[in-house]
Amino acid sequence: MSELPDRVEQRRLTFPPSYRLKRRRLLRSLFDRNRDDVQTVAVGCVRLLYRVVPRDALGHDVPLQVGFAPGPRAESGVERNRIRRLLREVYRVHQYTLVDPFVCRPDALIVMILFRGRPEQADDCIDRDLPRALQRVAAPFGEKETD
């Protein structure tokens, strides 16, 4: 039992460039309203759009790729960058919620994290809502692994 906490402590909480969602074709597929394979999870001020894709479509051998968007209410560049930084930081700390179910799978997950709240409340609501949204996205994939 003591091996599990050691393994968790040894995890690197980094967010390397290969895990960033940058391919235009993959980004567009998440926002295409005609697709039926795009799922949505909304928790408080955060909305996640996600889709399972073949791993070779990513261009890297990684379990998932993630993108971040600050939303339309953040008008100034300062607000947009601050919200994007907050989203990235909270995701970085809680990333293994989504990474673990896809490490051994042949497919990958692409996720777009959207902020839909008021910029002045970003600090509180991102810390509270993003981890819960990540758990809701990961729940169905974790169940399939145990069967």
Averaged pLDDT of the chain: 88
81: Cα within 13 Å, side-chain hemisphere: 3
pLDDT digits (tens, 9 = 90+) for 15-71: 889 999 999 999 999 999 999 999 999 999 999 999 999 999 888 999 999 999 998
> What average pLDDT does range 92-119 have in this prediction?
92
Taking the C-alpha atoms of residue 141 and residue 33, their distance in angstroms, rounded to an integer, is 23
Angle between helices 122-146 and 77-94 (to 10 degrees): 40
> Integer distance in angstroms from the first to the last C-alpha of the chain?
23
Strands across the sheet with 107-115, in order?
39-43, 46-54, 107-115, 64-69
Name 137's bridge partners: none
The CATH architecture annotation of domain 16-146 reads: 2-Layer Sandwich (3.30)
pLDDT digits (tens, 9 = 90+) for 129-143: 999 999 999 998 875
Taking the C-alpha atoms of residue 111 and residue 30, their distance in angstroms, rounded to an integer, is 8
Q: Please, are residues 115 and 122 in contact by the beta-carbon 8 Å criterion?
A: yes
